[in-house]
Amino acid sequence: MVTINAETELYALFGSPVGHSLSPEMQTAAFRERGRNAVYLAFDVKSERLKDAVSAIRALGIRGVNVTIPFKEAIIPHLDALDESARLYGAVNTIVVRDGLLVGHNTDGAGYIRSLEELFLIDWPKQRVVLLGTGGAMRAVAIALAQKGVRSITLLNRTEERAQALAVELSRFDVEIDVERWANRRHVLDDKTLVVNGTPLGMIPRTDESPLPKEALHPGLIVSDLVYNPFKTRLLMDAENVGARVHPGIGMLVYQGALAYELWTGEKAPVPVMYQVARSNLVHLKDAGRKDAEHRIHATMSEARQKEPER
């Protein structure tokens, strides 16, 4: 039981929709584990009230904020400053209140890398990467991988123009960039070492779908999925069946949140607790068999993806 009193610190999530978010449970559990008198609430903010919501951070003494779609870019003009990560990605997912100033950060890319490195020992300069999709989350992953110095990145998206636009952004890094047609995706993995799915294929309730045919996968791959509900997608199950290593999407979710926690508090995040809470909430949704809940999650996530501008 969380005790609320006049000294309780408030942290928040701004976005729309936010009904699917696991961050309130995950972050509040982290505060409790570290003995902090704090809670984390999700606020569904209408686009026309975003400026008011940012003003409320100061007015109400909110200690820190996460930002999710569709506001990761729109919130930038309302902040006092951006750190290097937010400037690099052109998007903000975390606001830190520092000396009365609202400073935008982005923990998405670093969270992804950290979650991958927790599972695998990776020789980054040898990695030949395939990225499926070019949405906001995948853009952060692409930039983070380029920063790590991977050998090559191949981009595939249903709309090839968006893949070409992301290729232009990545051209500032010393990495070989290639764009392939979506229809060719089954033929580009033979010599690759890491494939990342940033599409909604496999998300509840479309759990029988995968962005790749099973025959395209091979044991030399790390197969990473940004979809975190269900915990193990069809893509990841197919990958395991052919002997590939798998990286579930819950890792990025937990570590981007853990890095935000560390920015706000200056102390190490209790990652195992955050992971356990996030994982148990996914299990609850699946095991309860509540199809209405699953469809609601799918509807809100689909709406959010439609709102989020793809690069």
Q: How far is CA 128 from CA 54, 145, 162, 176, in A?
A: 41, 10, 21, 9
Q: In what order do the strands lie in the sheet with 38-44?
A: 38-44, 9-15, 64-67, 94-98, 101-105, 81-82
Mean pLDDT of the chain: 90
- Among residues 85, 151, 176, 223, the alpha carbon closest in space to that of 167 is found at 176
Q: How far is CA 207 from the centre of its chain?
A: 19
157 bridge partner residues: 181
- Among residues 93, 175, 104, the alpha carbon closest in space to that of 142 is found at 175
Q: Which of 46, 72, 192, 268 is catalytic?
A: 72
What pLDDT does residue 224 have? 98
Kindly report the pTM of this predicted structure.
Answer: 0.87
pLDDT band at 282 (very low <50, low <70, confident <90, very high): confident
Residue 288 has pLDDT above 60, yes or no: no
What pLDDT does residue 44 have? 96
Q: What are phi and psi for residue 16, nearest 5 degrees? A: -165, 115
For 11-51, the pLDDT digits (tens) are 999 999 998 889 999 999 999 999 999 999 999 999 999 99
> What is the rounded average pLDDT of the residues 150-168?
95
For 236-257, the pLDDT digits (tens) are 999 999 999 999 999 999 999 9
- DSSP assignment of 35-62: T--EEEEEEE--GGGHHHHHHHHHHTT-
Rounded to the nearest 10 degrees, how much is the dihedral formed by the CA atoms of 50, 54, 57, 62?
Answer: 60
**Is residue 148 flagged as an active site residue?**
no
Query: Which residue, chain included where needed, has tokens 């962005």?
Result: 211
Q: What are the chain's domains?
A: 9-107+252-307 (3.40.50.10860), 110-249 (3.40.50.720)
